[in-house]
């Protein structure tokens, strides 16, 4: 099984910078990997990916420098296991609001005795590795992050992050602000994010955050976040296209 260099980097306390891909384009995902990001997260929750297209994207990402990861559409046992079988080196599980939600994610992503992930005769590890060895190594190498993106999740953050088998969190600041009924960047919103980071540090887990602006990424890295995305393919394409059009028009 491929060594999870992102997880190793994070466990050393170093920031790991990634990008999100939602357009459903295998070539765009590969391009982002070749740029030099540590990982590319395929957004299956909001993006255009299908189960078949992510399988090809996992392999195209591996042609570059990044590790392939997926943000699943829901905390679904079968889907999480399937994505790991076909090549994901990390999974981000959305809408984890309780200890029970976190335990459900662990059950899907980890092999026994830690979880309940099902083994099979087909999959990226079973084709080349001894199945017993693969299962042991997979539990160590796969990165499992839960999304903290609601007011109830913030309140339960320390208990959620204490669940064995969870490696870290991925804070969703946009959904969190909506859940809190406040605008992004307000003192209340910033304090909530800081409290989640503190919960990660207290439980020995890795704090992460999903962002779309470089300046915010730098800010939250300075605040202690380590698993950080700084944008996505669709947004970057739109920004570049607008700039090109404005330049041609002389605007």
Element (H, E) at 133: helix 131-141
Task: List all residues 6 or more positions away from 198 whose beta carbon is below 8 Å from its beta carbon.
Answer: none
pLDDT category, 125, cuts 50, 70, 90?
Answer: low
Widest Cα–Cα separation across the chain = 63
Q: Which of 2, 8, 35, 46 is catalytic?
A: 46
Q: Report pLDDT for 183.
A: 96
Indicate the burial class of 247 (C-beta count within 10 angstroms; 0-12, 13-18, 19 or more).
Answer: exposed
CATH number at residue 158: 3.20.20.60
In this prediction, residue 47 carries a pLDDT of 97
Residue 201 appears among annotated catalytic residues: no
Look up tokens 């889907």; give the residue. Answer: 79
- pLDDT at position 127 over 60: no
- The reported pLDDT for the residue numbered 1 is 80
Residues 163 and 99: their CA atoms lie apart, in Å, by 7
Domain that holds residue 43: 5-249
- pLDDT tens, position by position, 174-194: 999 999 999 999 999 999 999
Q: Rounded to the nearest 5°, which phi and psi values hold at 107?
A: -55, -40
* 69 close to 90: Cβ distance less than 8 angstroms: yes
Task: Print burial letters for 48-85: b (CB count within 10 Å at least 16), e (below 16).
Answer: ebeeebbbebbbbbbebbbbbbbbbeebebebbbbbbb
37 closest CA partner among 216, 201, 217, 223: 217
Torsion angle of C-alpha atoms 71, 67, 227, 70, degrees rounded to 10? 0
Task: Say how far apart CA 47 and CA 41 lie, in whole Å.
Answer: 11
Mean residue pLDDT of the chain comes to: 95
Q: How many domains does the chain have?
A: 1
The yes-or-no verdict on residue 90 having pLDDT over 80 is yes
* In the chain, % of residues over pLDDT 70: 95
**Predicted local distance difference test score (pLDDT) of residue 134:** 81
For the whole model, what pTM was predicted? 0.94
pLDDT range class, residue 123, cuts 50, 70, 90: low
Angle at 195 (CA atoms; ends 191, 200), nearest 5 degrees:
150
């Amino acid at each position: 099984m491929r060594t999870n260099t992102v997880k190793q980097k994070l466990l050393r306390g170093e920031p790991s910078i990634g990008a999100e891909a939602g357009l459903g384009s295998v070539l765009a995902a590969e391009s982002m990997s070749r740029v030099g990001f540590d990982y590319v997260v395929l957004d299956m929750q909001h993006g255009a990916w299908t189960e078949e297209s992510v399988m090809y994207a996992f392999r195209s990402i591996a042609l570059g420098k990044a590790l392939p990861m997926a943000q699943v559409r829901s905390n679904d046992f079968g889907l999480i296991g399937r994505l790991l079988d076909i090549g994901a080196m990390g999974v981000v599980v959305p809408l984890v609001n309780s200890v029970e939600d976190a335990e459900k994610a662990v059950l899907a992503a980890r092999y026994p005795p830690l979880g309940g992930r099902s083994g099979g005769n087909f999959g990226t590890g079973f084709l080349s590795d001894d199945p017993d060895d693969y299962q042991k190594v997979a539990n160590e190498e796969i990165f499992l992050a839960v999304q903290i993106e609601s007011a109830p999740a913030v309140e339960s953050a320390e208990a959620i992050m204490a669940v064995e088998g969870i490696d870290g969190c991925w804070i969703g600041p946009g959904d969190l602000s909506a859940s809190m009924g406040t605008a992004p960047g307000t003192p209340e919103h910033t304090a909530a994010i800081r409290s989640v980071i503190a919960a990660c540090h207290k439980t020995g887990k890795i704090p992460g955050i999903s962002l779309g602006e470089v300046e915010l990424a730098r800010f939250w890295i300075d605040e202690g976040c380590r698993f950080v995305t700084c944008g996505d393919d669709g947004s970057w394409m739109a920004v570049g296209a607008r700039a090109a059009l404005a330049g041609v028009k002389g605007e």
